[in-house]
Structure 1
Amino acid sequence: MPELPEVHALVTDLGSRLTGRVVERFDLLSISALKTFDPPVSALHGSTIGPISRHGKYLDFAFDLPPGDRLHLLVHLARAGWIRWRDAAPKPSAAPGRGPLAARLVLDDGSGFDITEAGTKKSLAIHLVRDAAEVPRVASLGPDPLDPGFTESEFAGILARAGRSQIKGLLRNQAIIAGIGNAYSDEILHVAKMSPYTPASMKAEQVSTLFAAMQSTLNAAIARADGLAASELKREKKSNLRVHGRAGEACPVCGDVVRQVRFADSSLEYCATCQTNGKPLADRVLSRLLK
């Protein structure tokens, strides 16, 4: 799933390719991906692409229309969505609803990008609105962890209010902190040497350690992704993860095996030596199977 660093890099890459360009058309191939109906996607035809930005994990494409109107295409790539750039005019697409292609933007020279989603579980979300705040999940986003105004003091207040909530779930909660998902929450907690089950209300020195780990992990990922094209981002992310997705491999810090806890529709990875004083956490799925 694309998280804050990858979405940030997509904004940079696509902004350099798209800003100021004229849209020939926007084709919707997956009806279920579009979550709005007014204005229609045909309103984008002939528009000029304005600034591209992000809200947490949401991409925000601005489109300028005469006489001074602006629309926003908000895209949440979910677990298996992606943006694929095309330098040339597209080949005829398959029948709507078939294959991974969800939507296609074509510029006046034939280039543009495709929005795709792999797999059968379709969670990709596209919204065409006049204001980004019209999308409820955007309006309810928590603070951006890399916003200069997001301080350690504000972070400490968030943790204190969360009380006994487990820190792994809190870091992933978009209404509390925007942009961090399953992968980078694992990475942040590994850097902080903290169990994913640690209560959010913690000592001041732990808050400082966790805040520094969050900042360093996200900023390092952004720095690695800087200047990469969209086609290179997935490989870059996967190759630099320390524990997430590396169950059974050696921890890069201590050499212990990276362990996994599985849930119904996700998993977390951690190092017992670095994060839980050497104590393995129970694998919830495996424990149920053994009963």
Structure 2
Amino acid sequence: MDLASRPVARLAGATRRYGQQTALDAVDLVVQRGELLALLGPNGAGKTTAIGLLLGLARADAGTVELFGMDPQRIEARRRIGVMLQSAELPPTLRVGELLRLTASYYPVPRRLEETAAMAGIGDLLKRPYAKLSGGQQRRVQFALAVCGRPELLFLDEPTVGMDIEARQKLWAAIRQLIAEGCSVLLTTHYLEEAEALADRVCVMTRGRVIHEGTVEALRARVALRRIRCASTLPIDALRAWPEITDVQRDNERLHITAADAEAVVRRLLAADPDLRELEVQRAGLAEAFTELTRDDAETSANQREAA
């Protein structure tokens, strides 16, 4: 296998236990060069444990863990990554520029300070003490620290928590720039629209196992749900009684309907309301697909427990 096709990070049958609890159960996970893989799942699914193994913060009880084909704890591997975790303990009295210079000094070929600051949108914060920044500003500084070493693989754990919409959009643009430069990204996020906007592939986890892996399109295709939007005066309580409708909400005059059989619902809507207008039908998004997938897995597990 040549270097270009070799995964930058890999779990193969990785298992991790904490006492009697199995946090990871024989998980296979691969991050390819130049892709963004979004790791999705509810709290306690095993996402943080998987990242901890790849970062060398913990050891697997069974299976293989590789970072650039090496043990994740080797310094040669660690110098090729950038990390932005959910929480970070940084010297509060240091100024942002000082933090960036200090962190960049650990890497062989770091980015210039000005380049890093521009990428993270913190050019106006360089002279300010870290402790005096807002939560969203601190997250942008943490992103800058993660990318200043010019990493080949970037770990982003809930990177946009605490950011406003404008800051989040700017961070997405920076992530796209990094991917265009050949950087690989492993992203965990609870914002499913974030994964939908950025990911080449998604990996869905629950209870320490991978239950789906593939493109966003492949995940959507597993769900037959459709979104229907229209302007109508039909009473929402009556619509909730229709068997074809999974969910319905009203926003002023507009109805937002989720249905498995969109064609049948549209026919009934047109028959029930001759004045219906502004009709739109779309495929289900990643959020609906994720909810459907995890619900099916939970029901399957519950049935298996009952059978046992």
Superposition TM-score, scaled by structure 2 size = 0.22
> Higher strand share goes to which structure?
2
Greater C-alpha Rg = 2
Superposition TM-score, scaled by structure 1 size = 0.23
